[in-house]
Amino acid sequence: MDAVADDAPPTIEQLTEFHEAGRAWVIADESDRPVAYVLLDVVDGFGHVEQVSVHPHHARRGLGRRLVDAASDWAYEHGLAGLTLTAYTDVPWNAPYYRRLGFRDLADEEMPDGLRAIRRREAEHGLDAWPRVAMVKLHVN
Ligand X SMILES: CC(C)(COP(=O)(O)OP(=O)(O)OC[C@H]1O[C@@H](n2cnc3c(N)ncnc32)[C@H](O)[C@@H]1OP(=O)(O)O)[C@@H](O)C(=O)NCCC(=O)NCCS
Residues that bind ligand X (CB under 6 A): 51-54, 59-65, 87, 92-94, 97, 100
**33 or 79, CB closer to ligand X?**
33
Among 61, 59, 41, CA closest to 51: 41
Nearest to 16 by CA among 42, 39, 44: 39
Residue 72 Cβ, how far from ligand X at the closest point, in Å?
Answer: 13
Picking from 71, 82, 59, 87, the residue whose alpha carbon sits closest to that of residue 140 is: 82
Specify the residue, 9 or 79, whose C-beta has the smaller distance to ligand X: 9
Which is it for strands 132-138 and 104-105: parallel, antiparallel or unpaired? antiparallel
Q: Smallest distance, Å, CB 68 to ligand X?
A: 8
Q: How far is the CB of 1 from ligand X (least distance, A)?
A: 10
**Residue nearest to ligand X according to CB distances in the complex:** 64
